[in-house]
Structure 1
Amino acid sequence: MIASAPGKLVVSGAYVVLDGAPAVVTAVDRRATADASRRAVAEHHAQLGPDEVGPPHVDSGSLRMDGRKLGLGSSAAVLVAAIGARELALGRALDADARVRIALEAYEAHRTAQGGGSGIDIVTATEGGTLLCEVASGEPPRRRPVRLPCELVLEVWACPESASTSGLLGPVRELRRLDERRYQALTGPARQGAEQVAEALLGGDLDSMLAGLQRQTEAMTALGEAAGVPILPPYLLHLAQRRDRGTVVMQSGAGGGDIALHLGRRPSSEAWRAEAALAGLQRLTLGVEAVGLQAEPWPPV
């Protein structure tokens, strides 16, 4: 058997989840797979560490495109799948108790390797589905399973360049260090938007959910301008301004590239898709609310 874990999309709560605001994260059906019967490639050794069965071989090709990461949480998916493969090699089932234990181990390892982080990508890779998460400093996220509205049309677009999360977070943290009051004023609307999305999701109110996402997008654009970083790059800002009525165009996660989302009650228009293509975006075919860490049979030879 091999283990597989899904990638993720951050739908709501980027940045402000670290300030206590709720985040909405959904698992996608592009997955990392790990096989403990094969040896790991060198790039995965450091984050997996030694164990009694050795680091497994991991394949995260579906979370990449043209040789680069797509920004779908591949490092978390790789780590969770690798720990799952180790458990299978030791004769342990990937049941609910095991997933809780694996999530905690992966959370600690991921924070050590990356110097921090919310952990929402780890719990999503482990549990799957869509999660409403809240983060307390130094602790794994508190989360509850939710469902995205059935009438929501969510399109996923790959941006023409990869983003550096650390390169975006650094200037934002520096802005906060220099002027806490300004930081709070800039992020306040984003926190309110995240709260609005969480309440709308629990209440089944898609229109309110979209309004909360738009509030966050506008707040994150202003935060990026103040910090001197392109949280919403110019081409996405243009596409957001050209969006159809009743839709939202936003970044998934820290922004700066990687993944853009188009959300609404209906698909994007042909005119908007043409502009997106001219800007270098590519539509990705993937499903959301995918299953979390699981065991799978070896693929046929």
Structure 2
Amino acid sequence: MKGHVLLITAQAPGKLYIAGEYAVVESGLPAVIVALNQFVTCTVEESTDFGSIVSRQYTENSLHWRRMGDEMVFDNRDNPFHYILSAIKITEEYARSLNQQLSVYHLRIDSDLDSEDGKKYGLGSSAAVTVATVKALCGFYRLPVTQNQIFKLAAIAHFDVQGNGSLGDIAASVYGGWIAYHSFDRQWLAERRHVLPLPELIDLEWPDLQIEQLVAPADLKLVIGWTGSPASTSKLVDKVSMVKVRDQTEYQTFVSESRNCIQRMVEGFREQNLLKIQNEVRYNRQLLHQLSDFSGVQIETPVLTKMCEVAEKFGGAAKTSGAGGGDCGIVLIDRRTDLANMLAQWKVNHIEQLSLTVHVIKEGITQLS
């Protein structure tokens, strides 16, 4: 074998929403999100002749489509390959703007964000695959990028495919740990995306964007329950967005109360006050019930309701995580609590504990591996 073959590997963690779902899609609205120690790994290996994109997990990904007249219109938002291709396109656009010559390579994706039989846990695999691809290619092309620049490149790539959502899962995958995330103005991004050069766009301050690293109280334990039933975030967000106009007053009340709830919860983190955080988790669950009632969208399934009821009996504050409709629920509980009986009752109700821990990422320039 002649010469040195460049090989770069990058990882991005999955995430779960703790609170603030649905409201966070509005510009400037906050949510609390946590990064977890399950990862998407992206490996880029230099090639001399042809390139490839390979993923063990995504070989049999299904496509959703609908009819528009006589045309088949495909929904790309749940297909991970579209996020990978978008991440490649954006990162290479940035590389070209920095006068980097583009190469041919083999790109391999490996994910442990899904179950062994391919079911989604709801850990934000589309965001993690986007971030991992951007990070790996920035390393491959030796682009000196900060965490903020990686976030913005990945956010643009993800937004180009999904077109809705808050991009909070991108932030969790980039910054790690516990974060308070205020969503930026996506209309502003959509308008400037094709007007400003990419280097200028990612160096600008994005309106309403705020990302604050939080430190969890020492006595807080995060417990995750999985219902075994995957859900499509983009479709649920679509359904809720349709009620904004129809039930404007109720929706604005929900948004306003969600903002207040998350602000109090973030104060709980700053004060290291577990009880305060738990109270706001419970209140956020109530708000999501109200949203479900007036939107007609099932956010908390019967299994998730059971998961929460069992957790509350043992002093945990529990709710759905993310868009709901299945996937995971979260419990914030005192670390000293014996969880054996709670987990036994979960098992009887077909709720699986995911043994995940919070993943912290050190800030700074990405390092070449």
Say whether residues 1:234 and 2:275 are aligned partners.
Answer: no
What is residue 123 of structure 1 aligned with on the other side? 171
Letter in 2 for 1:249: A
SS in 1 for 2:219: coil
SS in 1 for 2:112: helix
What is residue 213 of structure 2 aligned with on the other side? 145
What is residue 15 of structure 2 aligned with on the other side? 8
The 5 Å alignment of 1:1-301 reads: 1-19=8-26, 20-37=28-45, 39-41=52-54, 44=81, 45-50=84-89, 51=92, 52-54=102-104, 57-65=107-115, 66-92=117-143, 97-138=145-186, 141-242=209-310, 243-266=312-335, 267=337, 269-291=339-361
Q: TM-score, normalised by structure 1?
A: 0.88
Q: Is the 8 A contact 1:129 1:292 kept in 2?
A: no
What is residue 4 of structure 2 aligned with on the other side? none
Q: Specify every segment of 5 or more residues in structure 1 that has no aligned partner in the other structure, as ranges.
A: none
For residues 186-227 of structure 1, give each alpha carbon's deviation from its aligned partner in whole angstroms, at most 9, with x where no partner exists.
Answer: 454433322221111112111011000100011102211322
Q: Specify every segment of 5 or more residues in structure 2 that has no aligned partner in the other structure, as ranges.
A: 1-7, 47-51, 56-79, 93-101, 190-205
Output the CA distance in 2 between the equivalents of 1:174 and 1:199: 32
Q: Is the 8 A contact 1:126 1:292 kept in 2?
A: no
Per the alignment, do residues 171 and 89 of structure 1 end up closer, same or farther by CA in structure 2, a change over 3 Å counting?
Answer: closer
SS in 1 for 2:264: helix
Q: TM-score, normalised by structure 2?
A: 0.73
Output the CA distance in 2 between the equivalents of 1:173 and 1:88: 38
Cα RMSD (Å) of the superposition?
Answer: 2.4
Q: Which structure: larger Rg? A: 2
Q: Is the 8 A contact 1:247 1:263 kept in 2?
A: yes
SS in 2 for 1:40: strand
Q: Is the 8 A contact 1:58 1:78 kept in 2?
A: no
For residues 32-62 of structure 1, give each alpha carbon's deviation from its aligned partner in whole angstroms, at most 9, with x where no partner exists.
Answer: 1111107313852533344423575243421
Q: Is the 8 A contact 1:6 1:290 kept in 2?
A: no
Matched pairs, number? 294
Q: Is the 8 A contact 1:34 1:82 kept in 2?
A: yes
Q: Is the 8 A contact 2:21 2:323 kept in 1?
A: yes
Q: Is the 8 A contact 1:187 1:220 kept in 2?
A: no
Letter in 2 for 1:288: V
